[in-house]
């Protein structure tokens, strides 16, 4: 199973990604986690990415694509993977399509989690209080939402045209959302 999860910041991609990883026994590849790890570890990529992340901007495609190509090339991703937070731009989506085609594979499904802006802001305030994430302050959150709607939301139509998009309401109890996702994929168990 090769999946991608789309949705605004705070839509539950990480929560649902963890559930789907266990259900399908595939790696959960979170671009945000990979970037935060690189920042924490002080790698060259991490130093370059930190300034963009702290400002609520998208990390440049070249950095993200290099990181994702390396990660998806690892043996544990050969039988499938779940992308979380990638792709974020049309250019990334097109590059991902080419990258996978070079390996004679493709995405099978793209799941979009729909959540209202009010709910997102509330969730991210809670997450900031619990996890102390610098990218969850109010100003940064509003900028991240602006960037999402300008840069990432157009991917919904891109994947809809390919017949890959599965839209799921991302508000409610996490377990119920997980069941809805699996039902949308035709795997309701």
pLDDT digits (tens, 9 = 90+) for 24-70: 999 999 888 888 888 899 988 888 888 888 887 878 888 888 888 88
Average pLDDT over residues 172-186: 93
Residue 133: active-site member: yes
Among 122, 120, 114, CA closest to 156: 114
pLDDT score of 184 more than 80? yes
Quick check: 114 and 170 in contact, CB under 8 A?
yes
Rg for the chain, CA atoms, rounded: 16
Per-residue pLDDT band for 9 (boundaries 50, 70, 90) equals confident
Quick check: 45 and 51 in contact, CB under 8 A?
no
In whole angstroms, give the CA distance from residue 183 to residue 189: 8
pLDDT tens for 90-128 read 999 999 999 999 989 999 999 999 998 888 888 888 888
What pLDDT is stored for residue 169 in this prediction? 94
Residue 88: active-site member: yes
Selecting among 13, 36, 50, 71, the annotated active-site residue is 13
Peptide bond into 87 cis (omega under 30): yes
Selecting among 21, 88, 123, 166, the annotated active-site residue is 88
What pLDDT is stored for residue 134 in this prediction? 63
Selecting among 125, 127, 142, 160, the annotated active-site residue is 127
Among 189, 184, 169, CA closest to 12: 169
Residue 160: active-site member: no
Selecting among 71, 123, 144, 166, the annotated active-site residue is 144
Average pLDDT over residues 167-189: 88
Selecting among 48, 133, 142, 182, the annotated active-site residue is 133
List the domains of the chain with CATH numbers. 2-184 (3.40.50.300)
What pLDDT is stored for residue 189 in this prediction? 46
Quick check: 171 and 10 in contact, CB under 8 A?
no
What pLDDT is stored for residue 63 in this prediction? 86
Residue 13: active-site member: yes
Average pLDDT over residues 140-151: 85
Residue 118: active-site member: no
DSSP H or E run through 188: none
The pTM is what? 0.83
What pLDDT is stored for residue 102 in this prediction? 92
């Amino acid at each position: 199973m090769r999946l991608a999860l789309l949705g605004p910041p705070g839509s539950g991609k990480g929560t649902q990604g963890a559930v789907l990883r266990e259900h399908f026994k595939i790696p959960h590849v979170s671009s945000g986690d990979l970037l935060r790890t690189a920042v924490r570890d002080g790698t060259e990529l991490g130093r370059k990415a930190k300034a963009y992340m702290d400002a609520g901007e998208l990390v440049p495609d070249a950095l993200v694509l290099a990181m994702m190509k390396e990660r998806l090339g690892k043996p544990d991703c050969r039988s499938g993977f779940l992308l979380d937070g990638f792709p974020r731009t049309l250019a990334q989506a097109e590059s991902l399509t080419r990258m996978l085609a070079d390996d004679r594979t493709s995405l099978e499904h793209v799941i979009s989690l729909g959540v209202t802006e009010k709910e997102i802001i509330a969730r991210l305030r809670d997450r900031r209080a619990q996890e102390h994430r610098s990218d969850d302050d109010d100003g940064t959150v509003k900028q991240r939402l602006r960037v999402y709607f300008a840069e990432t939301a157009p991917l919904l139509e891109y994947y809809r045209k390919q017949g890959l998009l599965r839209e799921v309401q991302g508000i409610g109890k996490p377990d119920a959302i997980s069941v809805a996702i699996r039902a949308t994929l035709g795997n309701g168990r």
